[in-house]
Structure 1
Amino acid sequence: MVSSLLTPTRARSSERNLRNADLPDLVVRLDSQQRRKVDVVAPASAIRAQGGMLVVEEAERRISASGVTSVAGAYEPTGVCESGIAEKLGVPLVYLRRMRAEAPHLYDANVNEWLGRDGRKFLVRALSSGDGGVGQARAFLSNGYKIIDNFDVLTAVLDGVRQAGVHVDIKSCDLSDQRMYVRLTAPEICGYAPYLLRNYRSPYSGRTGAENPTVFAGLVISNSETGCGSLSMTPQLTVQVCDNGVTMTKDVVRAVHLGAKLDEGRVQWSEDTQRKTLAVYTAQARDTVRRFLDRDYVEASIREIEKVSGAPVADVEETIKSVSKTLRFTEEQRKGIFDHFIRGGDLTAGGVLHAVTSYAQAVPDPDDAHELGALGIRAMELAAA
């Protein structure tokens, strides 16, 4: 029987998460969110907790093409939104979540008390239910937060790729309450890494790196709509033999979500503003593609990795323990990485890199998977040291 740790996470979805989905699935989900989004800037005095829900007075009506329509003012907070409430109001998150789960009346009393003492304005990002039911409060943010929506990012990046004249494949798409991740590969731009892959065998297919040393250029596009990080474009090398993604985090290109203070009321951008904003992201994506989806960049990155990858790992168990402790991997992650290391058969620091990026494919949570995979090179460096 094949261990679940050796089963790549196939496309799966939940009410809010997508994991290893294709582009059409992501577009459908993002389009639905765009149509249901409710972004409101309100003073603390116009926000309250009621029955464990977040109620925003200014969200109770909105103007659409068909006139003034009713929008439910009560929203159920997600975990991300609760984190924002806790951080902004100075309430311990663990205590806040316990009150909401076990004593909603205490949750209401505490949140309302601290909101009543606060003179600031906040941006509440929410989704209406679409059917008149309770909506979803996605984020509780400063009114200085610059909104960069996933749908706009995706549109701009794909347009930027087109302008750069590089053919790419959409390898996978992930979406969570925290972030969107889109992984691109350029099959026509590749290099060879026979030294890095000479001893490696894919835990998934059993194919060897010695027979399949090709590495493709690629990018990971990531964005958060809920205050969990910047818009980022990070080069990533994709290893053909196992589909492992080696993320070059040192070369990340970022656009932070900081802007001018938003005016009170419902946030609705004009077509002109949206067009100008998209033009900036499109140009940034085009320049990033031209810089990183390049054969010279791929070959230089491979050579840099290979300077460290050949260091032998003598005490496998102790090395994986040490790396896991330093990088704060969970016990489950440590076991998974150890399993992939042994099955990969490469007893070097490069084998640790392969094990981390290989195991990341089997992690079902989108955020955990990408955070883990991004630490592959750092894990290799620690193992070599």
Structure 2
Amino acid sequence: MKYGRSLVDLATELERQLATKQDMIVPTPLMHHVTSESGSSVLNIETSDGVRTFRTTENCRRQLADRLKIPYAYFERMRAEQPTLLDRNIDTWLHSQPEQRMVRTLDGNARAFLSDRYRRLDNYDLLAHVYPMLRELPGARVESCEVTDSRMYLKVVTSRVQFELQPGDVVHAGVVISNSETGQGSLSVSPLIFRLLCSNGLIAADQAMRKTHIGRMTETSHDEVTFFKEDTLAADDAAFFLKVRDTVQAAVSQATFSLIAERMRKTMGIKLVGDPVKSVERLAVKYLLQEHEKAGVLRTLIKDGDLTGFGLVNAVTGYAQEVDLYDRSTELEAIGGRLLDQGAKEWSELAEAA
């Protein structure tokens, strides 16, 4: 499992972000997109205190393009080659079809362009509510955590719930909690399997609890920008956090954990009787691995020398530790979990590939 940063560093970064981020509901006629000749773009927003300027992130540009039905490849081509044309396109659609949008900013960047119904489930508030729950788990430890441009992750393992796959090969139960503040996914709570021998993590995303960021309409003005105050989550979210607590407890329960661990143990009996290279190629096609990722999984499989379904699962989750991007590393851990969910026919296609 990729390390990320310490819990103290995570909390420090979330506190820093809390002080600098700003959310607002903006009528689109008050927005103006400006792109320089070098291709850098900003969003100018007219407020009662004057014009405020925010640099746009890639995520914000993707969401802006999607909302205005501008193909992103064309959006980026205009940004690089015809910036004036891009600005005219964006402003025309923003102003001719007025609506209200939530703009989320951080460190002077417009990082998200979202619906005005987007429900803010912020990382700082989430950690403040969830961490005390996690501390109550017997033998719990934070194995890995991180906050990236797109998501926050908290991966917690408990040594009190364990399963021996084979003599000397023990796995511990855990849970991964992830959340996006920028519209790049729902809040998710998923069971986690942590293998002690190699520190591989596997996410059973099929048993995850998710909450989408859709809320009630916010009372705002159609003529001016409405700023949000950075307070904690509303009291009516208390029921939701109780559900998160129940889901965390279920994720690390002996029943849930044993079910997943038993599926993992069964993969030990699946022999890769075909060409291992072809098996990895087929896996890469099915799970959309890039060429360098396919090569990394194959290298790990050969290095470990375990030509079974279990070896293939661990080749994916083992390679996940080498990946530079924490987001992608976590996605690969979830692919390991999806492999466990495969039926006999799907496993046969991988095992007998030639």
Give the gaps of 5 or more residues in structure 1: 1-7, 11-19, 62-69, 130-134, 195-209
1:237 equivalent in alignment to 2:193: yes
Following superposition, the deviation at residue 270 of structure 1 comes to 8.1
Query: How far off its partner does 1:233 sit?
Result: 0.5
From 337, 345, 351, the counterpart of 1:377: 337
| Residue in 1 that maps onto 2:297 | 337
Residue type at the aligned position of 1:171: E
Query: Given the alignment of the two structures, is residue 326 of structure 1 paired with residue 286 of structure 2, yes or no?
Result: yes
* Aligned-residue offset at 1:276: 1.2
Which residue does the alignment assign to 1:65? Answer: none
Which residue in 2 is equivalent to 1:298?
257
Partner-residue secondary structure (3-state), 2:43:
strand
Give per-residue Cα distances to partners, 1:203-236, cap 9 Å, x unaligned.
Answer: xxxxxxx53x110110111000000111000001
Per-residue CA deviation, residues 302-356 of structure 1 (Å, 9 max, x unaligned), is 1123334421112101111011111111111100000111111110111110000
SS of the aligned residue for 1:238 comes to strand
1:179, 1:139 → 2: CA distance? 13
Contact 2:267/2:308 (<8 A) preserved: no
Provide closer, same or farther for how the CA distance between residues 188 and 321 of structure 1 changes in structure 2, counting only shifts above 3 A.
Answer: same
Question: Does the CA-based 8 Å contact 2:189-2:248 persist in structure 1?
Answer: no
Match of 1:188 among 151, 155, 160: 160
Displacement, 1:123?
0.5
Pick from 298, 306, 314 the counterpart of residue 354 of structure 1.
314
1:122 is the counterpart of 2:101: yes
Distance 1:166 1:277 in 2: 29
Helix, strand or coil for the counterpart of 1:371?
helix
Which residue number in structure 1 is paired with residue 176 of structure 2? Answer: 220
Distance 1:309 1:118, change over 3 A: farther
Provide, for residues 242-284 of structure 1, a one-character-per-residue CA deviation record: whole Å limited to 9, x for no partner: 111111111101111011122334343585x725155334312
Contact 1:319 1:383 in 2 (8 A): no
Pair 1:153 & 2:126 matched: yes
Q: How does 1:139-288 map to 2 (within 5 A)?
A: 139-162=112-135, 164-194=136-166, 211=168, 213-264=169-220, 265-268=225-228, 274-276=233-235, 279-288=238-247
Q: Matches of 2:339 and 2:256 in 1, distance apart?
A: 22
Alignment correspondent of 2:12: 28
Task: Give the partner amino acid of 1:244.
Answer: N
8 A contact 2:28–2:100 mirrored in 1:
yes
User: How big is each residue's C-alpha offset from its partner over 1:131-185, in whole Å with a ceiling of 9 and x where there is no partner?
Assistant: xxxx1011000111111101111111112224x5434211111222211111111
Rounded to whole Å, the distance in 1 between the matches of 2:34 and 2:68 is 16
Match of 2:233, SS? helix
Contact conserved, 1:312 with 1:349, CA < 8 A, in 2? yes
2:352 aligns to what?
A: none
From 27, 34, 43, the equivalent of 2:27 is: 43
TM-aligned CA deviation for residue 54 of structure 1: 0.7
What SS does the aligned partner of 1:301 have?
A: helix
Q: How many residues align?
A: 335
Please, which of 92, 97, 106 is the counterpart of residue 76 of structure 2? 97
Contact 1:214 1:239 survives alignment (8 Å) = yes
* Cα displacement string for residues 44-102 of structure 1 (whole angstroms, at most 9, x for unaligned residues): 101110232111223x64xxxxxxxx8x7111111111111011111111221232234
Distance 2:296 2:124 in 1: 34
Measured on the aligned residues, the alpha-carbon RMSD in Å equals 2.1
CA contact (8 A) 2:134 2:156 kept: no
SS in 2 for 1:260: coil
Normalising by structure 2, report the TM-score: 0.88
Distance 2:305 2:237 in 1: 46
Question: How far apart are residue 41 of structure 1 and its match?
Answer: 0.6
Structure 2 gap ranges (5+):
36-40, 350-354
- Please, what TM-score do these two structures have when normalized by structure 1? 0.82
User: What's the offset of the Cα at 1:187?
Assistant: 1.9
Equivalent-residue separation in structure 1 for 2:302 and 2:70 (angstroms) = 44
Once the two structures are aligned, what percentage of the paired residues are identical? 30
Q: How far 1:114 sits from its partner (Å)?
A: 1.3
Which residue number in structure 2 is paired with residue 204 of structure 1? none
* Conserved 8 A contact 1:160-1:283: no
